[in-house]
Chains A and B, each alone.
Chain A
Amino acid sequence: NFMLTQPHSVSESPGKTVTISCTRSSGSIASHYVQWYQQRPGSSPTVVIYEDNQRPSGISNRFSGSIDSSSNSASLTISGLRTEDEADYYCQSYDNNNHILFGRGTKLTVL
């Protein structure tokens, strides 16, 4: 099976843009859609990006997603950072057996 590798933590200042990567260890990143979930402290996760680059209704357009086949990775980009964006972010995909896989999560600090 494959793994989804994320940076342990990232930090950036309010108003800036940050990108969180999610690298697939084997197999093509494009073979299964990638989702991104936000988990604020003490709360349940919520989806912020689905199917690589789709935003659910109610999610700010400051959130965007993409995949890059050359690096076999997906990325979540948050622009115009706000303190409320401070959270853990998880990428998620599927394997060929319909098993769900999560990355280990990235802690975003907005300082």
Chain B
Amino acid sequence: EVQLVESGGGLVKPGGSLRLSCAASGFDFSTHAMTWVRQAPGKGLEWVSLITRTSNYIYYADSLKGRFTISRDNSKNSLFLQMTSLRVEDTAVYYCVRKTVVGNHLDFWGQGTLVTVSS
């Protein structure tokens, strides 16, 4: 069974940092590009970042302005998102999402982890 389990969310003050993790199981993690997608409370989906299978290519939403860093460890079937200089508007549920091997869609989503940025 495919599983993506996010962790690391919580309450952080503006300007603070947080590192999200995503533990993957039930599939060959190293063969899939992975992404982070976030959803602010009551709002729509917003793509955050994508990393290819071997980390050769990494993409970020322009709105993040270099504050976030995506990485992965294929030996540990894990995906990470390091978030710095957090703002109130970064408050959201952060989803770890698998990109299909062949094609363009996001074919499996984790349950998400809530990040709350508040003083």
Which positions in A face B, CB cutoff 8 Å? 1, 32-33, 35, 37, 39, 44-47, 50-51, 56, 88, 90, 92, 94, 97-105
Contacts and interface: CB of A to CB of B under 8 A. Distances in A.
Interface of B: 35, 37, 44-47, 50, 57, 59, 61-62, 95, 100, 103-107, 109-112
Given A44-B110, A98-B57, A51 B46 contact: no
Given A44-B110, A99-B59, A100-B35, A51 B45 contact: no
Contacts of A88: 44
A90 B111 contact: no
A64 to B, nearest CB: 16
Contacts, number: 63
Contacts of A44: 95, 109-112
16 contacts: A33-B104, A33-B105, A37-B106, A44-B109, A44-B111, A45-B95, A47-B106, A47-B107, A50-B100, A50-B103, A98-B57, A99-B62, A100-B50, A102-B44, A102-B45, A104-B44
Nearest to A35: B105
A1 B37 CA distance: 19
A106 B61 CA distance: 22
Contacts of A32: 104
Interface centre among B37, B105, B112 (most CB of A within 10 A): B105
A101 B61 CA distance: 9
B26 to A, nearest CB: 16
Nearest to B99: A100
Contacts of B35: 100
Given A33-B104, A37-B45, A50-B104, A97 B59 contact: yes
A97 B50 CA distance: 12
Contact of B105 (A50, A101, A103): A50
B59 to A, nearest CB: 5
Nearest to B61: A99
A35 B59 contact: no
A35 B37 CA distance: 15
